[in-house]
């Protein structure tokens, strides 16, 4: 474990170390007032969240990965305040000269011009319509969305253009945009996946410290379903020895809440995520940390992580087969064995490109 001990700070990572990939120094909390509080109260203050405005040239990210069911996505934010200790997006912060640890959770980047850029990209001649995915890297409804409303702005553009969209989130904050999503869903233009990793609030509190409680996510599934929005449950990641015993219970709960289907991914530990996760295990589950890592390595061909296409999403070996079999049986039992999302791409009406010249039509 590196840096200060943040077990009481409401953050996921225990430190701010870097792997040395870019020869960057370890980062620590800064400020005399933090040191003073540490001396007086006996614990470090929670790191503060900082948001920096980013001005990208484009907002739609393209990918050609054969094991991912979308070819384009939008991430309104870099970094994620939810602080999920297992988040595979953490290493992306290293490219910003920041730590995948606490920096990822506290030093965020917002893209307030996202909706403007989106409108311009959709207006380009020859644009080919495919569903745009939100929540593929960081959560579009993390706490800062309350004030920045960048996800909402983008949804308004997509709704006006009748462009299909999928959203993956852990947050019931998505219900703020239920008006847009319900209208789009009625035309088969929107689908949502709610991530439910555990039903145990104690595990959730340390595993995903600033994400909404499990019961709030189940309530969001119910509200979305009642409004006619097709909602799926993402049981991701499944963590052997920590959450895998809950597979059947989670699937029963999301089915009762109104989910139409479900899918899962075994835990992935790319690059710096492995060290961050192992620090978390040592702090919260010291009695089983070595056993958990041994099972994870058995899932990943003896390594902490397997980055190969398809293998990274499924795992291999006896443990992977066991998880897959249990998940399939429980999904079938609860009517959740549907995981295909087919949205309508034929209704799209491109926005008019920004121009001082009036249209002739």
Each domain of the chain, given as residue ranges in start order, spans 32-333
What pTM value is reported for the model?
Answer: 0.88
Q: What is the pLDDT of residue 84?
A: 97
Radius of gyration of the chain (CA): 21
Burial letters 35-68, b for 16+ CB under 10 A, else e:
eeeeeeeeebbebebebeebeeeebbeeeeeeee
CB neighbourhood size of 185 (10 A): 21
C-beta of residue 41 within 8 angstroms of C-beta of residue 66: no
Q: What is the pLDDT of residue 203?
A: 96
Q: What is the pLDDT of residue 57?
A: 96
Q: Please choose, from the candidates 120, 227, 121, the residue with its C-alpha nearest in 3D space to the C-alpha of residue 184.
A: 227
C-beta of residue 26 within 8 angstroms of C-beta of residue 2: yes
Q: Which residues of the chain have pLDDT under 50?
A: 1-8, 27-40, 355-361
- For domain 32-333, the CATH class is alpha beta
Q: To the nearest 10°, the Cα dihedral for 61, 274, 312, 257?
A: -80
Distant-in-sequence, close-in-space partners of 49: CB < 8 Å, separation ≥ 6: 81, 105, 106, 107, 108, 143, 144
- d(CA 38, CA 42) in angstroms, rounded, equals 5
Q: What is the pLDDT of residue 303?
A: 95
Q: What is the pLDDT of residue 328?
A: 96
């Amino acid at each position: 474990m590196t840096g200060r001990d943040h077990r009481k700070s409401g953050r996921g990572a225990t430190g701010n170390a870097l792997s040395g990939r870019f020869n960057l120094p370890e980062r620590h909390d800064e400020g005399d007032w933090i040191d003073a509080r540490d001396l007086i109260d006996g614990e470090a203050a929670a790191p503060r969240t900082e948001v920096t405005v980013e001005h990208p040239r484009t907002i739609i990210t393209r990918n050609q990965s054969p094991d991912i069911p979308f070819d384009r996505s939008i991430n309104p934010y870099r970094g994620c305040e939810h602080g999920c200790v297992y988040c595979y997006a953490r290493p992306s912060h290293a490219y910003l000269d920041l730590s995948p640890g606490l920096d990822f959770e506290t030093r965020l980047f917002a893209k307030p011009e996202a909706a403007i850029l989106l409108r311009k990209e959709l207006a380009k001649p020859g644009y080919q319509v495919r569903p745009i995915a939100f929540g593929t890297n960081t959560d579009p409804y993390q706490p800062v969305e309350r004030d920045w409303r960048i996800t909402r702005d983008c949804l308004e553009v997509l709704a006006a253009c009748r462009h299909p969209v999928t959203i993956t989130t852990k947050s019931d904050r998505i219900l703020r945009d239920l008006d847009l999503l319900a209208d789009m869903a009625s035309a088969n233009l929107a689908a949502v996946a709610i991530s439910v990793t555990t039903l145990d609030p104690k595990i959730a509190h340390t595993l995903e410290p600033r994400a909404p409680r499990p019961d709030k996510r189940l309530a969001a599934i119910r509200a979305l379903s009642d409004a006619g929005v097709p909602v799926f449950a993402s049981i991701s990641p499944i963590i052997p020895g920590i959450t895998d015993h809950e597979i059947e219970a989670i699937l029963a709960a999301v089915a009762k809440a109104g989910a139409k289907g479900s899918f899962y991914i075994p835990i992935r530990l790319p690059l710096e995520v492995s060290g961050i996760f192992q620090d978390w295990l040592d702090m919260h589950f010291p009695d089983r940390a070595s056993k958990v890592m041994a099972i994870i390595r058995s899932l990943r061909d003896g390594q902490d992580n397997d980055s190969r296409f398809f293998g990274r999403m499924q795992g291999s070996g006896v443990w992977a087969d066991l998880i897959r079999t249990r998940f399939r049986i429980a999904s079938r039992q609860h009517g959740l064995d549907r995981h295909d999302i087919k949205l309508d791409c034929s209704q799209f009406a491109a926005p008019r490109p920004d121009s001082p010249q009036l249209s002739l039509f």
